[in-house]
Amino acid sequence: MTDQHKKQNCDTMAAGLLSVDEAKQRILDSVTPINGEEKLAIRATLNRVLARDILSTINVPPYDNSAMDGYAVSSTDLPQQGETRLDVVGESFAGNPYSGTLSSGQAIRIMTGAMIPDGADTVIMQEQVRRDGDSIVIGSGHKKNANVRYSGEDMQVGQTILTRGKQILPAELGILASLGIPEVKVMRKLRVAFFSTGDELRSVGEPLEEGQIYDSNRYTLYGMLKRMHVDIIDMGVIADRREDVREAFTSAAAIADAVITSGGVSVGEADYVKETLEELGQVTFWRVAMKPGKPLAIGRIDSAAFFGVPGNPVSAMATFYQFVQPALRKMMGMPNPFNTLLKVPCMTALKKAPGRLEYQRGILDYNENGELIVNTTGVQGSHILTSMSQANCFIILPAENTGVAAGECVEVQPFTDLV
């Protein structure tokens, strides 16, 4: 053992636990983006991750056009004072431009989005002119180039418009369409297999006998993964039997990029997860200085990344959001895997013992002045799944924090990123 390792061991042992930040960094460092892309029609790319930069081959808008309904004129005809009269010699509609060239003393009736005719450089809003038969009368005070939208103002030929790793949302679909791009290359979908471990677990549809509970983690995991738009492989409940656990891990690792299990990562008698994993791959078991969700297993089985989250329902969700989701996003090719954090006043006093970082369940809301505030959901046990339903965010209390007074600002992580 090197001195550095000795020192690290002493540090972590002294504290007993790994800090949340350190755990996050190590987990992110342990995964790399997957290989493989597919070409899809643009609508089918919604929520997917771009595999290549998108360069513009055209200007958007492709031509100078009017921002208003009105009259296209030459700025040299605009009066400095008093009024001027111009002949209306034609029309330019969106999709139906005026083909001639404007001469001095002339104007063209023009609609929003229509091409600015040659010889014109300014559009006067129709509300600001007086129509008089075949001519218009314009007053002073108009600016050269008013109400003109220029070619390439949004996107220019040769410009990188979207970069690899960008998630395609509605605006990106519109951009691709604006550029006339029918198909794009996106990262292939990440394949994620997951199962629950525990002899006490039954699946919905089965009767409960004494000492048994329904498996809820496979459902919360399903929901959280589905919202990440990955391919999901639900492998069911695996009993606490060595052979079953080994078999499940082996088959999951063979078909998935990532394998997630819940339960069996604490140091219980019947927890074969640890033994099996040490036998099959490279896995590290950590005790992280966080609440809820102290135990966590991270590693690799063959080519699949492995994440073992705790069995308690709230711990499973909290651990997923903090560690597994960012790692999966990195594997999907997304450059910024972390959710947005907010700082808002907490309207309720919060109790906290120093030592572990806490993810308390909070309700982000508006006060009567329309300002964001947060309240606690109340009871914070790691088995109280209803607290996750009442909540819409985690209130993040740093390890050293010893409680929060009502009105004090706290850091908050919404469950749904503000995309």
In degrees and rounded to multiples of 5, residue 388 shows phi and psi of -75, -30
CA–CA distance, 44 with 183 (Å, rounded to integer): 9
Site string for Mg ion, 172-201 (x = CB under 5 A): --------------------------x---
Count Cα atoms within 13 angstroms, Cβ side, for 359. 29
CA–CA distance, 141 with 169 (Å, rounded to integer): 43
- Given ligand AMP, Mg ion, none, residue 215, with its beta carbon under 5 to 8 Å by kind, binds ligand AMP
Q: Does 313 bind Mg ion (CB under 5 A)?
A: no
Contact (CB, 8 A) for 366 and 373: yes
Amino acid in the structure at residue 143: K
Q: Does 260 bind ligand AMP (CB under 6 A)?
A: no
Site for ligand AMP in 302-321 (CB under 6 A): 310-313
Gyration radius of the chain's alpha carbons: 31
- Cis check: omega of the bond before 292, within 30 degrees of 0: yes
DSSP category for residue 34: P
Q: How many residues bind Mg ion (CB under 5 A)?
A: 4
Our CB check for ligand AMP shows the closer of 23 and 162 to be 23
Site for ligand AMP in 124-163 (CB under 6 A): none
Which range in 36-44, 148-156, 202-210, 265-273 contacts ligand AMP by CB under 6 A? 265-273
Q: Quick one: tokens of 377?
A: 């959901």
Q: Quick one: tokens of 337?
A: 């895997």
- Given ligand AMP, Mg ion, none, residue 310, with its beta carbon under 5 to 8 Å by kind, binds ligand AMP
Q: Does 268 bind ligand AMP (CB under 6 A)?
A: yes
Amino acid in the structure at residue 10: C
Site for Mg ion in 259-288 (CB under 5 A): 263-264
Q: Does 362 bind Mg ion (CB under 5 A)?
A: no
Q: Does 266 bind ligand AMP (CB under 6 A)?
A: yes
Amino acid in the structure at residue 316: A
**Site for ligand AMP, rule CB under 6 A:** 196, 198, 200-201, 213, 215-217, 262-266, 268, 310-313
Enumerate binding residues for Mg ion (CB under 5 A): 198, 263-264, 311
